[in-house]
Structure 1
Amino acid sequence: MNKVQPHSFFTDFDIDLFKAGKHYRLYEKLGAHLTEVDGQKGVYFAVWAPSAKAVSVIGDFNYWLEGEHPLNVRWDGSGIWEGFIPGIDKGTKYKYKIHSHHNDIKTEKADPFAFYCETPPNTASVVWNTKHGWKDTKWMATRQDKNGLDKPYSVYEVHLGSWRRAEGGRFLSYIELADQLVAYVKEMNFTHVEFMPVMEYPYDPSWGYQLVGYFAPTSRFGKPEDFMVLVDKLHQAGIGVILDWVPSHFPSDAHGLGFFDGTNLYEHPDIRKGYHPDWKSLIFNYGRNEVRSFLISNAVFWLDKYHIDGLRVDAVASMLYLDYSRADGEWEPNVFGGRENLEAASFLKDMNEEVYRSFTGVQTIAEESTSFPMVSRPTYIGGLGFGMKWMMGWMHDTLEYFKKEPIYRRHHQNDLTFSMTYAFTENFMLPLSHDEVVYGKHSILGRMPGDEWQRFGNLRLLYAFMFTHPGAKLLFMGSEFGQSGEWNFEQSLDWHLLDYDYHKGIKNLITALNKLYKKQPALYEKQFSADGFEWINYGDNENSVLSFIRKGNNPEDNLIIICNMTPVIREDYRIGIPVAGKLKELFNSDDGQFGGSGVTNKKLKTDDIPWNGRDYSAAMTLPPLGVMVFSVK
């Protein structure tokens, strides 16, 4: 076989962009690319290793021998090593052997830009050219109408390895999931799925949040084009796809990004900025231009090549604060003396600007747990530029409230109402995520107090309150049918629970709530605006009852919502109504099909009795632990 031949995919302009941190399509240049040079088929390799004094491609084609196929360093100071190796083909396994100037260290690394990787625990990269004939033209053409902030946004969060398993505990493949998962999500009326990280990761207990192959869907479930089939099928079913994306940290595995060329190349060299004490992982150097190009190219890659509709960015708070999980003396203030990581904030702004500039109808969503301002506001007015932000405060306060026995809830109504004091400072998504059903926190059902009926009644109440509260929604898999135990990533969800009526009722409830959310404009058109919400009465602590109005663009679409947070049936309960008319009960969480007791209100009309500061009112029966949704016509 011929040795390495000189060849390059890079222009001088590419190099200038790369050095400036502005090259956002690096996956077209760096990595391993099948190509043809002077009539010879083979692979062009390019890797960034500025502190190397020699770089070789080693693989199954040369018995993993260093020096057999050395790459050539570019003359321009970019630190890129490259070359064309004829005669090798798709499926070739390879790594880079890097001999560093730094202390004569040698590293053996997987390709940071590999499109495919060996299945862990094996660690080699695989030469691949992913091809798929997309059939989602209709979805992509109309995505802006399905994926906007004024549209219903109900997300089903999925861990692919444990949603459902085949006989014998085998993982379902991407192709099998394209049948089973797509049908299920469509049946449940969710508008989107969110996949916990699908990028290649070495350690199963990390759930995918410790990435090594940033440009490769994990081979645990099949080939890259198989993952494309899954995304395509979801799109054909009218379902958007969000990926968890992790630019916050990466593991120190020997074959990964850490100490890549014998130096701190991708990670920050200062341990106070480059090492995460909670996760024992490495933190990207957001001030290094080439690292910014790598990360933003990765965000763009999934939207470009895999037609992804949104990125949920993990652990944003850990990126934004220099003192995150650090004691005094373990961090250094920024140039202004503050604790904000200015380089990370600048990176996030650049990432969001590029994503929204280059792709129509996509969303970025920040998992950010602090009060950092303007996370989901445009960069041109000083924001970080995300489309949405997780409402962690709502999640924490609401779950704390629902853990309490109903008799004590009268003293804690502020836990539910407080969220409305800041609900419209950001575009909030309400999450009940995987983090809330692990590590001894119990399942969502497991948090609920009372006997069996009350536990399920409380769960129905929680979900109905969530879906009528302003904001987008996210529910972790298993929660939609009342999974009893905590989530275990090593096994399937407890699907056998659907043999029991109460669990089947929860599944029916979520299906109905998703349908209600999609059908009623008042629940989504102004879900991020104060104009879309009005309290009727938030002060009835004694009865633990909340009532409010959700508003759409058309006043005729407005909805009345009443929540009874106790198991007491309240008859003749009067609430103020802004207009005269007949009340139609559109939804009742106590309906028998959901496992409820069936206390409903069939025929109601307003009375000319002023109440709650409104000209009209209606007296009704409140179901136990129930939420009712009415239209007024």
Structure 2
Amino acid sequence: MNSVRTYTLFTDHDVYLFKEGRHYKLYSKFGSHAAEKDGVKGIYFSVWAPNAKKVSVIGNFNNWNHKDHILYPRWDGSGIWEGFIEELSWGTLYKYAVETARGEILEKSDPYALSWEQNKQAASQISTTWYEWNDQEWMENRWQNNSLKAPLSVYEIHLGSWLRDEKYPDRFLNYRDIAKKLVPYVLEMGFTHVEFMPVMEYPYDPSWGYQITGFYAATSRFGSPQDLMYLIDELHQNGIGVIMDWVPSHFPGDANGLHRFDGSYLYEHEDPRKGFHPDWKSYIFNYGRNEVKSFLISNAMFWLDRYHADGLRVDAVTSMLHLDYSRNEGEWEPNIYGGNVNLEAKAFLQEFNTAVYKEFGDQIMTIAEESSDFPMLTKPVHDGGVGFGMKWMMGWMHDTLDYFKEDFINRKFHHHKLTFASMYMYNENYMMPLSHDEVVHGKASLIYKMKGDEWQKFANLRTLYVYMFTHPGAKLLFMGDEFGQTSEWNFTQSLDWHLLEYPVHKGLQRLVKELNHLYTTESALYENQFDKSGFEWVEADDLENSVYVYLRKGKRRDDVCMVILNLAPQVLDYKIGIHTATHWEVVFNSDDEKYSGSGVDAEILDQKHEEWMGHPESLTVKLPPLAGIILRQKKDKKYKLHRIKHKR
């Protein structure tokens, strides 16, 4: 006898939108929800399995028996199975027993479950996202902090290895325990945002969270949904934004996951040329199926809505957009125009960006991890673009790291690796990433990518950071890089925080902290970070000295910083061309002793009214070895008074 009662949360319009691929709040319908029928409390279940013969709810409440609690298929052909079970409560474990057309019984976890078990069975858990938030001030004003016109300095974090339990290093910290350590640290370091590597439920630790099975579940490794909300809430209350990694590109073939969910290729593309990822041995979503689009866009909305995320960094966009990604000739099929662009994936990403920006406006940001030269990723959809807010600047990252690996004597032959980005840096809205991918799999930590002896390695890295923080675009730095982690990132253990006992590591950390402060307070460094008016080369071609000089400009004509990079190990007295009647002061020197530099002062030695570098006047500056220095133009008092008078 079926002990499931009829019940629905779906209206006809809900079903219509779901089938059209335009239902973006499916998390309020599918899954398990507290409900009441005829005065009796219980749980409503619903799941999409259009090719199933029968679907039942199994769990620790019925000894995992698939004959007792059979769901009802909707009459409308939507493929939705649903029903109401009395007297179930929070914490109950369950799965769906899906009988396929061939008579197989598949035990599947709920695609919309809010929490999963941490064991091989990985059952879904009846849970809730109810939480009493205290971040109202942040949420009301976050559009200012998440704006492309604001400074954006992101600290990328893997929650399982940023910090472990000191007494039991094999144990993860709870989200709440992480909050106690992470919030004051990020606040002290001056980062404006954190980016969490995936916190959605995943079965395999070595995947770092990028092989997701529970797209709507906060991983229970670190606690409950409310524990994660507490962490985000604490960050927000301290003025720190939260970006989440989001993975709509693929999913693993775990037996209880999305793969062959109802015995058919439901979520994934049936054609292996489009549906199977050869690198990651995982399955690719079918972006042409409307119900799958509704599932994915609803998932993006879910994290922005229920968890108050300020942005989504979309993983592996290159693999989504290219039919031939990581495939040999004959292993992929061209699109209808004969090209290699996955038109369905492009349309999905356009729809995703349109939907989330329509819902949240400029309160949030979307960021593409994309390594090709795919055009117009950050241009509006109505202009033919893909609609992202920003894109990772992978070319800048590769060129920069390649340059800093070079012997000093050879740098003149690679000089323009550091200038090449200026040829395209305004084609898109770029974020400069020094991410987790650069410090694993034998690539070495950042500090050991640098050339030279120990002092030179740290001097190089300090100068690289000056270059990064003064270059147009948003910034992203992976955890541990701020203090010179010496070993490659190891997801199984905590960062090597003991290195901060050594002055050279402590000095590097202090440099990053003060660069963050400078970047977030000097408007010349961020106001026009996505606008051509914000950058000007003064000297880009001094190959022999390995010196670079450029200006960063704010909206006011006298709001200007000059950046000078000396990437040779010698002290130089260096003459620079400047505009007439401008006066300068040194505000930052990466060779300062407080950063464990050599302590050579960066001094302005002379200023003359003589033409130099195409400018009417010249400035001679003492440049420390392997150092980056920043000069600020002294304010034009007359201009300032004029502006104030005009404003009145």
> Equivalent residues in 2 for 1:31-430 (5 A)?
31-101=31-101, 103-166=102-165, 167-169=167-169, 170-360=171-361, 361-430=363-432
Q: Structure 1 stretch 592-601 or stretch 18-27: which is displaced more? A: 592-601
Amino acid at match of 1:278: D
Q: Percent identity?
A: 58
Secondary structure of the corresponding residue to residue 575 of structure 1: strand
What whole-Å deviation, never above 9, does each CA across 1:72-108 have from its counterpart, x for those lacking one? 000001000000001111100000000011x222211
Contact in 1 for aligned 2:129/2:306 (Cα 8 Å): no
Q: Which runs of 5+ in 2 are unaligned?
A: 635-648
What whole-Å deviation, never above 9, does each CA across 1:197-239 have from its counterpart, x for those lacking one? 0000000000000000100110000000000000000000100
Contact in 2 for aligned 1:406/1:567 (Cα 8 Å): yes
Q: Structure 1 stretch 607-616 or stretch 77-86: which is displaced more? A: 607-616
Distance in 2, Cα, partners of 1:603 & 1:424: 32
Contact in 1 for aligned 2:2/2:68 (Cα 8 Å): no
Amino acid at match of 1:63: N
Distance in 2, Cα, partners of 1:224 & 1:433: 26
Distance in 2, Cα, partners of 1:431 & 1:412: 21
Distance in 2, Cα, partners of 1:372 & 1:581: 41
Is 2:550 aligned against 1:561? no
Distance in 1, Cα, partners of 2:131 & 2:181: 20
Amino acid at match of 1:256: G
Q: CA deviation at 1:495?
A: 0.3
Q: CA deviation at 1:174?
A: 0.3
Amino acid at match of 1:288: R
Contact in 2 for aligned 1:2/1:85 (Cα 8 Å): no
Contact in 2 for aligned 1:581/1:606 (Cα 8 Å): no
Q: CA deviation at 1:604?
A: 5.6
Distance in 1, Cα, partners of 2:546 & 2:602: 20
> Equivalent residues in 2 for 1:495-514 (5 A)?
495-514=497-516
Secondary structure of the corresponding residue to residue 513 of structure 1: helix
Contact in 1 for aligned 2:604/2:620 (Cα 8 Å): no
Match of residue 11 from structure 2:
11
Q: CA deviation at 1:122?
A: 3.8
Secondary structure of the corresponding residue to residue 252 of structure 1: coil
Match of residue 610 from structure 1:
611
What whole-Å deviation, never above 9, does each CA across 1:354-381 have from its counterpart, x for those lacking one? 1101014100000000000000111010
Secondary structure of the corresponding residue to residue 608 of structure 2: coil
Q: CA deviation at 1:528?
A: 1.0
Amino acid at match of 2:204: Y
Distance in 2, Cα, partners of 1:93 & 1:154: 41
Contact in 1 for aligned 2:603/2:621 (Cα 8 Å): no
Match of residue 644 from structure 2:
none
Distance in 1, Cα, partners of 2:405 & 2:38: 70
Distance in 2, Cα, partners of 1:322 & 1:602: 55
Contact in 2 for aligned 1:26/1:293 (Cα 8 Å): yes
Distance in 1, Cα, partners of 2:222 & 2:121: 15
The number of equivalent residue pairs is 631
Match of residue 519 from structure 2:
517
Match of residue 639 from structure 2:
none
Residues 221/511 of structure 1: CA separation in 2 closer, same or farther (3 Å cut): same
Match of residue 465 from structure 1:
467
Contact in 2 for aligned 1:583/1:606 (Cα 8 Å): no
Contact in 2 for aligned 1:130/1:225 (Cα 8 Å): yes
Distance in 2, Cα, partners of 1:121 & 1:368: 33
> Equivalent residues in 2 for 1:546-625 (5 A)?
546-571=548-573, 573-602=574-603, 606-625=607-626
Distance in 1, Cα, partners of 2:410 & 2:580: 34
Distance in 1, Cα, partners of 2:176 & 2:151: 28
Secondary structure of the corresponding residue to residue 157 of structure 1: strand
RMSD: 1.0
Q: Structure 1 stretch 83-92 or stretch 118-127: which is displaced more? A: 118-127
Q: CA deviation at 1:602?
A: 4.7
Secondary structure of the corresponding residue to residue 36 of structure 2: strand
Q: CA deviation at 1:119?
A: 1.5
Contact in 1 for aligned 2:525/2:554 (Cα 8 Å): yes
Contact in 1 for aligned 2:5/2:83 (Cα 8 Å): yes
Q: CA deviation at 1:121?
A: 3.4
Amino acid at match of 2:489: W
Residues 225/2 of structure 1: CA separation in 2 closer, same or farther (3 Å cut): farther
> Equivalent residues in 2 for 1:520-539 (5 A)?
520-539=522-541
What whole-Å deviation, never above 9, does each CA across 1:34-91 have from its counterpart, x for those lacking one? 1111111100000000000100000000000011000000000100000000111110
Distance in 1, Cα, partners of 2:616 & 2:451: 38
Contact in 2 for aligned 1:584/1:604 (Cα 8 Å): no
Distance in 1, Cα, partners of 2:272 & 2:62: 38
Contact in 1 for aligned 2:604/2:619 (Cα 8 Å): no
Distance in 2, Cα, partners of 1:2 & 1:338: 53
Distance in 2, Cα, partners of 1:601 & 1:219: 51
Distance in 1, Cα, partners of 2:41 & 2:623: 74
Secondary structure of the corresponding residue to residue 115 of structure 1: coil
Amino acid at match of 1:521: S
Q: CA deviation at 1:2?
A: 8.2
Q: CA deviation at 1:579?
A: 3.7
Amino acid at match of 2:19: K
Secondary structure of the corresponding residue to residue 96 of structure 2: strand
Q: CA deviation at 1:631?
A: 1.1
Distance in 2, Cα, partners of 1:556 & 1:221: 49
Residues 621/602 of structure 1: CA separation in 2 closer, same or farther (3 Å cut): closer
- TM-score with structure 1 setting the length: 0.99
Secondary structure of the corresponding residue to residue 549 of structure 1: strand
What whole-Å deviation, never above 9, does each CA across 1:264-323 have from its counterpart, x for those lacking one? 000000000000000000000000000000000000000000000000000000000000
Secondary structure of the corresponding residue to residue 244 of structure 2: strand
Amino acid at match of 2:108: K
Q: Which runs of 5+ in 1 are unaligned?
A: none
Match of residue 24 from structure 2:
24
Q: CA deviation at 1:120?
A: 3.5
Q: CA deviation at 1:605?
A: 6.2
Amino acid at match of 1:406: F
Q: CA deviation at 1:601?
A: 3.2
Secondary structure of the corresponding residue to residue 453 of structure 1: helix
Distance in 2, Cα, partners of 1:354 & 1:177: 32
Contact in 1 for aligned 2:606/2:621 (Cα 8 Å): no
Distance in 1, Cα, partners of 2:364 & 2:221: 27
Distance in 1, Cα, partners of 2:427 & 2:221: 41
What whole-Å deviation, never above 9, does each CA across 1:325-351 have from its counterpart, x for those lacking one? 001110001011110000000000000
Amino acid at match of 2:191: F
Contact in 2 for aligned 1:577/1:606 (Cα 8 Å): no
Secondary structure of the corresponding residue to residue 516 of structure 1: helix
What whole-Å deviation, never above 9, does each CA across 1:99-142 have from its counterpart, x for those lacking one? 011x2222110000001111143410000122211110110011
What whole-Å deviation, never above 9, does each CA across 1:458-512 have from its counterpart, x for those lacking one? 1101111111111100000000000001000000000000000000011001001
Amino acid at match of 1:210: Q
Secondary structure of the corresponding residue to residue 382 of structure 2: helix
- TM-score with structure 2 setting the length: 0.96
Match of residue 489 from structure 1:
491
Q: Structure 1 stretch 598-607 or stretch 614-623: which is displaced more? A: 598-607
